[in-house]
């Protein structure tokens, strides 16, 4: 391990020869180069959206020309929003860095503590620093989030939130983030401070352990704070899922349905859990005709609240929305096919492979951090001439120095993810769910108003899943092989 750090230190020794100002502008330039590349890809995708095309032959049984055009317009609206938001964030971040917001905020955090007679407490100062950033990020993002949900998603019929729901959700997210983040950051800084030469190993073990703990507690204790989770009701679907799970020896513990329709009309399905206690979660929007609430009084109360909050909606629009909701979703056999795809990920150990890759990568970046975080040039570049706070070192190295590496690593994971998706589809085909899976994928495409055509380069760089047309073609080939 000492040899690894020594090698990395020699590799990065060139940083000591660079003037702080030069290093600062070089790192900012790198962020803009990567951002420009992202905008170029988005431009290509937007041009793809602007081209009017006919419904592909594979989708003529589920999609009309009008639905294709609506999906195209929805995609264009989202792309415009994302581009404007991205450019704004990039400009805002650059301006804040240029005016020296990091050393100013660090000093302000120290001044706040000094008022209560806490001097030179780096961990407490780091907590105040992170807390201020999280509060600022939450507040500054509210207009963007509000526009996305109540203008863009509302326009295309996906938003189901009320303003009251949105405000409560935002507050809860901030509180949960603070409760989870601040203790972890504090302990991580302490480990780095007292860990000696091998601190990066202890830091890696700590973050790995905390990741696993959060992966356990989030779906069981945190997610229910935001959405309602009910056991899947007795019936054909429940019996079929349990039978399929038993056939595959999938260690199924429980099956939940989440009330995704309370916030959005989008649909999804996933499983979580460790070892012999796997749990399946289905969105109520995934199951055709399914309603998570059986209590009519609860339904009336929700309808009353929605009507009082969204008075601008016409009665005929609400009725039309309810009619469309009843038409959306998958039949039981198609839901089974979607779950069979998810079982394929489990059977082929895709999640375990991704977890191992993630932890190995984490070890590597902590080793790089160990080789870099004591170098004065990095701190001086961002205005820290008298102190070298651990938190600032983490921020500079992970967010700016390692940014090119993270871009390459993310692209590699995206390519691997697409390969895994093909394999999981093939798993479902081998269990004779090819036709059902194909129908389910097409229905989900239409229900989520996803545009079926994509720019090749944009898709390869961004899409963790193959495009629908690619998946349907692969399913057909697997059927005949």
The whole-number pLDDT of residue 7 equals 67
Residue-level pLDDT at 267: 78
DSSP letter string over 186-234?
Answer: HHHHHHHHH-GGGHHHHHHHHHHHHHHHHHHHIIIIIGGGTS-EEEPPS
Taking 70 as the threshold, does the pLDDT of residue 181 lie above it? yes
In the numeric block, the tokens 């581009």 are attached to 83
Residue 129 predicted with pLDDT over 50? yes
Please report the pLDDT score of residue 179 as a whole number. 94
Which range has the worst mean pLDDT, 175-189, 199-213, 313-327?
Answer: 313-327
Kindly report the average pLDDT of the chain as a whole number: 88
Of 184-198, 278-292, 426-440, minimum mean pLDDT range: 278-292
- Could you tell me if residue 168 is inside a domain? yes
Query: 230 has which bridge partners?
Result: 257
In the predicted model, is pLDDT for residue 321 greater than 50? no
pLDDT for position 303:
46
pTM score of the predicted model: 0.86
Residue 39 inside a domain? The answer is yes
- Can you give the pLDDT at residue 253? 84
Binding-site members for Zn(2+) are 341, 345, 421
Residue-level pLDDT at 306: 47
Instruction: Give the per-residue pLDDT at 294.
Output: 54
Q: What is the DSSP string of 51-64?
A: S--PPPGGGTTT--
What does the alpha-carbon distance between residue 261 and residue 263 come to, in Å, rounded to a whole number? Answer: 5
Buried b (16+ CB within 10 A) or exposed e, 301-333: eeeeebeeebeeeeeeeeeeeeeebeebbbbbb
Among 3-12, 260-269, 345-354, 434-443, whose mean pLDDT is lowest? 3-12
**Within a 10 A sphere around the Cβ of 433, how many other Cβ atoms?**
24
Gap between the Cα atoms of 387 and 380, Å rounded: 9
Q: Which positions are catalytic?
A: 342, 425
* 349-369 pLDDT, tens digit each: 999 999 999 999 999 999 999
Is the predicted pLDDT of residue 259 greater than 70, yes or no? yes
pLDDT tens readout for residues 149-175: 999 999 998 888 899 999 999 999 999
Number of domains observed in the structure of the chain: 1
* Integer angstrom CA distances of residue 319 from 134, 294, 316: 40, 20, 5
Percent of the chain scored above 90 by pLDDT?
A: 68
DSSP 313: S
User: Look-up: residue for tokens 């995708």?
Assistant: 45
Residue 416 CA to residue 412 CA, distance in Å, equals: 6
Q: Say if CB 91 and CB 97 are below 8 A apart.
A: no
152 vs 158: CA distance, rounded Å: 9
Domain assignment present for residue 454? The answer is no
Residue with tokens 């009017």: 52
pLDDT of 313 reads 47
Domain that includes residue 199, residue range = 1-226+365-409
The reply to whether 143 falls in a domain is yes
477 pLDDT more than 90: yes
Residue 78 lies in a domain: yes
**276 in a structural domain:** no
CA dihedral 342, 343, 347, 348 (to 10 degrees): -20
Q: For residues 55-66, give the mean pLDDT.
A: 93
pLDDT tens-digit series, residues 277-294: 788 888 888 888 777 765
Mean pLDDT along residues 423-435: 95
Share of the chain above pLDDT 70, in %: 90
107 in any annotated domain? yes
Assigned domain for 200 exists: yes
Dihedral pair phi/psi, residue 245, rounded to 5°: -60, -40
Least confident of 156-165, 282-291, 459-468, 469-478: 282-291
Q: Are strands 252-258 and 278-283 parallel, antiparallel or unpaired?
A: parallel
Instruction: Summarize the confidence of residues 447-471 as an average pLDDT.
Output: 94
Token pair, residue 75, equals: 């995609």
């Amino acid at each position: 391990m000492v040899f690894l750090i020594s090698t990395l230190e020699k590799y990065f020794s060139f940083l000591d020869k660079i003037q702080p100002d030069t290093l600062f502008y070089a790192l900012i330039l790198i962020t803009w180069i990567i951002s420009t590349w992202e905008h170029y890809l988005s431009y290509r995708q937007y041009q793809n959206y602007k081209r009017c095309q006919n419904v592909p032959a594979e989708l003529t049984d589920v999609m009309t020309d009008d639905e294709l055009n609506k999906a195209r317009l929805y995609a264009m609206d989202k792309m415009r929003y994302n581009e404007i938001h991205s450019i704004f964030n990039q400009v805002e971040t650059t301006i804040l860095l240029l005016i020296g917001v990091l050393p100013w905020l660090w000093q302000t955090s120290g001044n706040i503590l000094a008022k209560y007679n806490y001097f030179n407490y780096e961990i407490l100062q780091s907590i105040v620093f992170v807390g201020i950033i999280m509060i600022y990020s939450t507040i500054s993002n509210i207009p963007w989030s509000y526009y996305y949900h109540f203008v863009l998603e509302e326009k295309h019929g996906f938003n189901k939130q009320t303003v009251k729901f949105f405000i409560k959700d935002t507050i809860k997210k901030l509180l949960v983030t603070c409760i989870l983040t601040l203790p972890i950051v504090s302990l991580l800084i302490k480990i780095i401070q007292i860990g000696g030469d091998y601190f990066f190993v202890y830091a890696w073990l700590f973050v790995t352990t905390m990741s696993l703990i959060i992966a356990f507690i989030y779906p069981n204790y945190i997610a229910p704070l935001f959405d309602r989770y009910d056991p899947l009701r007795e019936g054909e679907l429940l019996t079929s899922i349990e039978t399929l799970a038993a056939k595959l020896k999938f260690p199924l513990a429980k099956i939940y349905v989440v009330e995704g329709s309370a916030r959005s009309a989008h649909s999804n399905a996933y499983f979580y859990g460790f070892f012999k206690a796997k749990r399946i979660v289905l969105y109520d929007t995934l199951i055709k005709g399914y309603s998570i609430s059986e209590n009519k009084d609860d339904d009336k109360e929700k309808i009353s609240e929605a009507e009082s909050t969204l008075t601008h909606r016409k009665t005929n629009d609400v009725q039309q929305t309810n009619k469309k909701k009843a038409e959306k979703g998958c039949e039981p056999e198609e839901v089974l096919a979607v779950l069979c795809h998810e079982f394929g990920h489990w059977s082929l150990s895709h999640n375990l492979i991704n977890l191992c890759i993630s932890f190995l990568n984490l070890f590597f970046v902590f080793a790089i951090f160990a080789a870099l975080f004591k170098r004065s040039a990095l701190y001086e570049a961002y205005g820290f001439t008298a102190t070298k706070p651990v938190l600032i070192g983490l921020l500079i190295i992970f967010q700016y120095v390692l940014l090119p590496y993270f871009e390459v690593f993310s692209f590699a994971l995206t390519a691997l993810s697409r390969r895994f998706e093909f394999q999981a589809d093939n798993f479902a085909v081998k269990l004779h769910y090819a036709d059902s899976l194909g129908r389910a994928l097409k229905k989900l495409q239409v229900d989520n108003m996803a545009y079926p055509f994509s720019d090749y380069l944009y898709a390869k760089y961004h899409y963790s899943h193959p495009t629908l047309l690619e998946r349907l073609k692969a399913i057909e080939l697997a059927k005949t092989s």
